[in-house]
């Protein structure tokens, strides 16, 4: 798949943060849908005219349209309110939209999908059912929780990220997503390096206030990320909080700066020139809170495109070498050789981790570079890939070595 031709459809697009980030990475957003006319208007104003207002529950209408567009990727964040810590946590109609997302992915059958949601969604009945559906459709799944502050966002916002690719093994992008993580979180001071007029008072402040979740801390210093943005983030401290502040506040809340809507928008990853149009102020706050931070989307998009182009391979998982040593007494040199051959095979396969052994073998044999290697080298690479596959299977069932594992390793020794 050419990096410049990742034809992508976004579902539940909201104001456009996910599309913006993926566009920056190099995805081509060909269609977007949301049920809110206000969100569609903002998206159209800032991202593009390819967005439409639609009720995605109407699968019989939307599904054929998506399929006809033949996308390489379908992405989106189904409504999270039924899972959110700020909500009632009762799975209802909005939670069922996770199943709608999975159904539409299965109908369009893109090579890739990206789904994002709050971390609690990973434990939901809706996601459990959706995951089964996607796995049966042939998708290998990477499922992880990422903290946006380590991916270019000045906000400690945690999101469930699910990435699927046809024919892969589960966890195929875990190591690449981890490698894309920065060493330190992005802070509000980082965001203020190129101060805008709106930021003068904030830059001179010692700290800022954001309305906390329940009994959480309300005051942060500029050298921290902001907490996860919610609709009421920029509200002033209420009398109850002023009288009973959090013991961890660095200064009294009354002395802390109050964020503007423009600053909260940038904390959520929108650029300073983002146009909200004539949208009512409260609805803008809600759209900002619901949005997916564009820098995090860009980082995820770059990881996907790098793998799609075959420029990255998964890291060997941590206990593979220990498994070879403990069960079969392999020397350090033998373990090192197997790992080297495994990585060579994965590079030849352009980072693919096929769910089916036969598909992996066929892809390897069809690689011209592989066919040009000496016979013994080809055999060594095949064996290393087979051994690793056996370890992956056995690591899920920690029992005595299987007959198949013993047979593979006896062939290596021979």
Q: Report angle CA 108, 113, 116 to the nearest 5 degrees.
A: 125
Is 243 considered catalytic here?
A: no
Closest by CA position to 105, among listed 90, 95, 96, 115? 115
Q: Identify the H or E element spanning 186.
A: none
Q: Record the tokens describing residue 272, joined without a space.
A: 């300073």
Complete edge-to-edge strand list for the sheet that includes strand 219-221:
219-221, 207-209, 257-258
Q: Measure the CA–CA gap between 66 and 105, rounded to whole angstroms.
A: 9
Distance, CA of 341 to CA of 347 (rounded, Å): 10
Diameter of the chain measured on Cα atoms? 78
Backbone torsions φ then ψ of 144, nearest 5 degrees: -150, 165
Contact between 82 and 94 (Cβ < 8 Å)? yes
Calpha distance 390→306 (Å, rounded): 27
The H or E element containing residue 316 is: none
Whether the CB-CB separation of 74 and 48 falls below 8 Å is answered with: no
From 80, 106, 243, 281, the catalytic residue: 80
| CA dist., res. 191 & res. 294, Å (int) | 14
Backbone torsions φ then ψ of 258, nearest 5 degrees: -105, 130
Q: Helix crossing, 59-69 with 93-108: angle to 10°?
A: 40
Question: Which H, E and C letters describe 134-183, residue by residue?
Answer: HHHCCEEEEEEEEEHHHCCCCECCEEEEEEEEECECCCCCHHHHHHCCCC
- Give CA torsion, residues 7, 35, 263, 28, to 10 deg: 10
CA 309/CA 319 separation, integer angstroms = 28
Pairing of the two strands 112-117 and 139-147: unpaired
Which positions are annotated as active-site residues?
A: 80
């Amino acid at each position: 798949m050419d990096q410049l031709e990742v034809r992508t459809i976004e579902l539940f697009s909201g104001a456009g943060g996910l599309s913006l980030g993926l566009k920056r990475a190099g995805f081509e957003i060909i269609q977007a849908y949301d049920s809110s006319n206000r969100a569609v208007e903002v998206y159209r104003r800032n991202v593009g005219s390819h967005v439409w207002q639609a009720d995605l529950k109407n699968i019989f209408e939307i599904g054929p349209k998506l399929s006809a567009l033949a996308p390489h990727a379908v992405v989106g964040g189904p409504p999270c309110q039924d899972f959110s810590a700020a909500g009632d946590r009762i799975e209802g109609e909005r939670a069922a939209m996770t199943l709608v997302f999975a159904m539409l992915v299965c109908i369009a059958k893109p090579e890739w999908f990206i789904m994002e949601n709050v971390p609690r969604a990973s434990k939901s009945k809706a996601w459990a059912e959706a995951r089964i559906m996607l796995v049966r459709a042939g998708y290998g799944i990477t499922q992880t929780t990422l903290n946006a502050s380590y991916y270019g966002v000045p906000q400690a916002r945690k999101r469930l990220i699910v990435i699927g690719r046809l024919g892969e093994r589960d966890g195929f992008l875990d190591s690449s997503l981890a490698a894309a993580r920065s060493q330190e979180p992005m802070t509000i001071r980082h965001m203020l390096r190129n101060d805008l007029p709106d930021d003068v008072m904030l830059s001179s402040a010692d700290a800022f206030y954001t309305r906390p979740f329940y009994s959480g801390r309300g005051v942060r210093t500029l050298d921290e990320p902001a907490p996860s943005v919610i609709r009421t983030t920029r509200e002033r401290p209420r009398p109850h909080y002023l009288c009973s502040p959090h013991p961890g506040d660095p200064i009294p809340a009354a002395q802390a700066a109050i964020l503007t809507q423009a600053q909260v928008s940038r904390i959520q990853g929108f650029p300073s020139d983002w146009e909200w149009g004539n949208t009512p102020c409260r609805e803008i706050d809600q759209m900002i809170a619901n949005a997916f931070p564009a820098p995090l989307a860009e980082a995820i998009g770059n990881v996907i495109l790098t793998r799609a182009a075959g420029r990255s391979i998964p890291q060997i998982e941590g206990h593979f070498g220990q498994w070879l040593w403990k069960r079969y007494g392999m020397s350090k040199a033998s373990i090192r050789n197997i790992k080297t051959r495994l990585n060579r095979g994965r590079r030849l396969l352009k980072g693919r981790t096929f769910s089916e052994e036969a598909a992996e073998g066929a892809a390897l044999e069809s690689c011209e570079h592989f066919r040009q290697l000496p016979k013994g080298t080809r055999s060594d690479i095949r064996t290393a890939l087979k051994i690793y596959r056996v370890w992956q299977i056995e690591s899920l069932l920690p029992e005595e070595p299987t007959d198949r594992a013993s047979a593979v390793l006896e062939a290596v020794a021979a």
